[in-house]
Amino acid sequence: MPRGDARVLIYSHDSFGLGHLRRCRAIAHALVGQHNKISVLILSGSPIIGSFDFRARVDFVRVPGVIKLRSGDYTSLNLHLDIEDTMQLRGSIIQHTADVFDPDIMIVDKEPLGLRGEVAETLAMLKKRGVPLILGLRDVMDEPGLLAPEWERKNVMPALENLYDEIWVYGLPQVYDPLSGVEMPDSVLRKVVYTGYLRYGVPDASSATHPSILEKPYILVTAGGGGDGEAVIDWVLRAYESDPGIPHSALIVFGPFMRTEAQEQFLARIGRLDAVEAITFDARIEHLMQGAVGVVGMGGYNTFCEILSFDKPALIVPRTKPRLEQYIRAARATELGLISMLDDDKSHDPQLMATALRQLTQQRRPSEIVLPGLLDGLDNTNQLAGQWLARGRAADLAVVGTKT
């Protein structure tokens, strides 16, 4: 018998950084905002998911976190368990949650089979129930020469062919095609839908952060999660240390994953600067982004979406390791005139950054570049999800007709 409500399960594997979590949260909030009878459950490995606010009818289940070492191996984030036991525990929680929650749609973020294949059994179980399975991909995955062998090693293609019903790319092909260089059968290519980028809004509750610097025009410097953002912050601080005449102050957000030692060193330098303040983290960073006259960041997917959404002139200093994702996105956005970019050559020339900061507010805003559908991502994911819900489960069609 059909239920009166609809349930969406979203899986996000990552335990480090904010990108996957914030993307999934934005989609979940958009779904419940548009559809009165939808509940969304997010499966996440993020250790800080509880720091974020969630709308009514959105909740989360946190699986034990894991972290990727420099060697490429994984280890448990907090538990004194070996990685195999941790993965077995994660897989069991994921499958049991999906079994009991019994979603009408499942959306998997980025990793088609999950971390080390941990959602493969869950996908197969839900497929037998006729549950539509959606793979959501960001606009840039990695350089094509690395993505193709990675997917081949993980045996991704059979899942794209036989398990997934649709592949949503949260971007536009005229900006970048994340699947370029990956040979795919036509049956898979027909499943790909480009949604546009996700438009971020300002949360209803105000930010809890009220540094005095917010009382005057400021540049927001964000390192995302902060785990690999030390270089860009060091470079910005060098600029203010060498050029006290930079016309705007800076508010630096370290990110929750930046090393404590690095934060302490930065705070000591900031203490000697009148024009710079810093905070560790703000779960409602949209308020800070909205109030800024310009943004300096690393160019992760969510930061890029925020820059577009709040129409801010931006300077991006992308990382190049372990993936070229940020560099590819920043380089392409620079070509289109949406942002400006500085390559991190490791020298951190203070004058180069100071000049870029002086010029930042003179840049064109992203809205001055005409790209139809650029920020339609949430509207389109809502529409696509609604279509799948209207069709109902494939296994139910012959018995009860189309669900509503």
d(CA 239, CA 352): 8
Is the domain of 47 the same as that of 121? yes
Q: Are residues 159 and 121 in the same domain?
A: yes
Percent of the chain, pLDDT > 70? 92
CATH code (residue 390): 3.40.50.2000
Predicted pLDDT of residue 401: 32
Per-residue confidence (pLDDT) for residue 15, from 0 to 100? 62
Residue type, 93: I
395 has a pLDDT exceeding 80: no
- Confidence class of residue 403 from pLDDT cuts 50, 70 and 90? very low
Q: Give the torsion through C-alpha atoms of 30, 35, 40, 44, to 10 deg.
A: -10
Residue range 218-267, pLDDT digits in tens: 999 998 888 888 999 999 999 999 999 999 999 999 988 899 999 999 99
User: How does residue 111 score in pLDDT terms, banded at 50, 70 and 90?
Assistant: very high
Residue 33 lies in a domain: yes
Q: Which of 391, 338, 384, 7 is nearest to 169 (CA)?
A: 384
Tokens of 210: 């009220």
Instruction: Name which of 56, 52, 62, 21 is nearest 40 in CA terms.
Output: 56
Q: How confident is the model at residue 102 (pLDDT cuts 50, 70, 90)?
A: very high
Alpha carbons 65 and 205: distance in angstroms, whole number = 29
Q: How confident is the model at residue 358 (pLDDT cuts 50, 70, 90)?
A: very high
| Residues spanned by the domain of 88 | 6-199+375-400
CA distance 328 to 318: 9
Q: Is residue 206 part of a domain?
A: no
Same domain? 232 vs 312? yes
- Whether 235 is in a domain gets the answer yes
Cα–Cα distance, 111 to 24 (Å, whole number): 13
Flag whether 304 is in a domain.
yes
Supply the mean pLDDT for the chain: 90
Task: Count up the domains in the chain and report the number.
Answer: 2
Is the pLDDT confidence value at 47 over 90? no
The interaxial angle of helices 350-360 and 230-242, nearest 10 deg, is 90
CA 377 and chain centroid, separation = 13
Report whether 39 contacts 10 (CB < 8 A). no
The model's pTM is 0.91
Most confident of 227-231, 283-287, 301-305, 397-401: 301-305
204 assigned to some structural domain: no
280 vs 116: CA distance, rounded Å: 31
Residues 183 and 229 in one domain: no
For residue 210, name the pLDDT band (cuts at 50, 70, 90).
Answer: low
Is the residue at 207 inside a domain?
no
Same domain, 40 and 132: yes
Q: What is the pLDDT of residue 402?
A: 31
**Would the pLDDT of 182 be above 70?**
yes
Residue 396 to residues 161, 344, 365, 388: CA-CA distances in angstroms?
22, 54, 49, 13
Query: Would you give the DSSP letter of residue 180?
Result: T
Give dist(CA 388, CA 344) in Å, integer: 44
pLDDT digit string, tens, across residues 118-158 = 999 999 999 999 999 999 999 999 888 888 999 999 999 99
Residue 76: per-residue pLDDT: 77
Q: How confident is the model at residue 293 (pLDDT cuts 50, 70, 90)?
A: very high
Whether residue 1 is contained in a domain is answered as no
Is the pLDDT at 44 greater than 80? The verdict is yes
- Cα separation, 100 vs 253, whole angstroms: 39
Find tokens 């690999």 and name the residue: 228
DSSP type of residue 197: P
User: What does the alpha-carbon distance between residue 198 and residue 171 come to, in Å, rounded to a whole number?
Assistant: 8
> What DSSP assignment string belongs to 259-274?
-HHHHHHHHHHHTT-T
Higher pLDDT, 172 or 142: 172
Check whether residue 134 and residue 150 sit in a common domain: yes
Both 128 and 25 in one domain: the answer is yes
Is 227 in the same domain as 147? no
Beta-ladder partners of 221: 252, 296
Report pLDDT for 16.
Answer: 63
Cα–Cα distance between 112 and 135 in angstroms, integer? 6
Residue whose token pair is 């004058």: 351
Strand order in the sheet with 340-341: 276-279, 249-253, 218-222, 294-297, 314-316, 340-341
pLDDT at position 181? 85
Place of tokens 């993936």: 323
- Bigger pLDDT: 393 or 403? 393
Instruction: Clarify whether residues 107 and 225 are in a common domain.
Output: no
Give pLDDT, residue 214.
76
Q: How confident is the model at residue 71, as a pLDDT?
A: 56
Average pLDDT in the 98-114 region? 96
Both 156 and 230 in a single domain?
no
Band of residue 69 on the pLDDT scale cut at 50, 70, 90: low
| Confidence band of 74 (pLDDT split at 50, 70, 90) | low
Does residue 72 register a pLDDT over 70?
A: no
Counting residues of the chain whose pLDDT is more than 90, the rounded percentage is 71
Which residues partner with 40 through β-bridges?
8, 58
What the block records as the tokens of 121 is: 């059994």
Cβ pair 114, 9 in contact under 8 A: no
Between CA 331 and CA 318 the distance in angstroms is: 9
- What does the alpha-carbon distance between residue 170 and residue 322 come to, in Å, rounded to a whole number? 22
Helix (H) or strand (E) holding 12: strand 6-12
Whether 217 and 175 share a structural domain: no
Is 170:199 a contact under the CB 8 Å cutoff?
no
Secondary structure of residue 95 in the 3-state scheme: helix
User: How far apart, in whole angstroms, are the C-alpha atoms of residue 321 and residue 90?
Assistant: 27
Q: Do residues 77 and 220 share a domain?
A: no
